[in-house]
Amino acid sequence: MKGLRTVNEKTTKRGLRAELLEVRARLTADDVEASARRIAVHAAGLGELARARTVAAYVSVGREPGTRALLETLRERGTRVLLPVLLPDNDLDWAPYEGPERLVRAGRGLLEPAAAPLGPEAVAEAEAVLLPGLAVDRRGLRLGRGGGSYDRVLARLEAAGGTAPLVVLLYDTEVLEEVPAEPHDRPVRAAVTPSGVHRFTE
């Protein structure tokens, strides 16, 4: 995705999402797999994840930066991992990750844990939160897919007084100079890409 234009004030979130998704669609399965392995190595080395007893994460699908290797790394070292369960109103419930064989196909092509859900408030137990996204900028502001699910999660964390660091997983070329932002957007502490860790706030 080299050469993606610098985002300016007139760029809409919808237009940028379409551009980013188009680029992802051109990735091969080998591209995605190789990137996922490198992301897992860099993310596993993050102090924020190493110190966390509970991590809220997600199962990547399609051409998203892969998370499955990272989920297994976290589980194998004894970290409790919570995964989202999509509710009918687009909010997220959470259930524990018990291994790849305990993931089930859900609506919209998502993979969700087969374990019993713990309730939407369970995310507040996380000591680090891994977020999906399409881009992040130099301020740490993340561009999501626009469904609003993670806006609710982040608002819930804030309401609970949570201080868990937020980390987004992306491809290298999705770290941009600027993305369109709104007042409710919350910055992430870091982005992990195949080439390494990009830090924004401490």
**Position 183 in a domain:** yes
Please report, rounded to a whole number, the percentage of residues in the chain having pLDDT higher than 90.
Answer: 80
Q: How does DSSP classify residue 148?
A: S
Dig out the tokens for 86 from the structure: 């999509």
**In this predicted structure, what is the pLDDT of residue 148?**
86
Residue 126's CATH number: 3.40.50.10420
Of 186, 133, 150, 179, nearest to 5 by C-alpha is: 179
Residue-wise pLDDT tens digits, 93-131: 999 999 999 999 988 789 999 999 999 999 999 999 999
For residue 75, tell me if it sits in a domain: yes
Per mean pLDDT, which range of 3-7, 51-55, 68-72, 171-175 is the poorest? 3-7
Residue 2 lies in a domain: no
CB 70 within 8 A of CB 44: yes
Q: Which of 44, 53, 45, 39 has its CA nearest to residue 164? A: 53
Give the percent of the chain with pLDDT over 70: 94
Residue 156: give the domain boundaries. 13-199
Mean pLDDT of the chain: 91
For the full predicted model, state whether its pTM sits above 0.75: yes
pLDDT bracket for residue 146 (50, 70, 90): confident
- Domains contained in the chain, number: 1
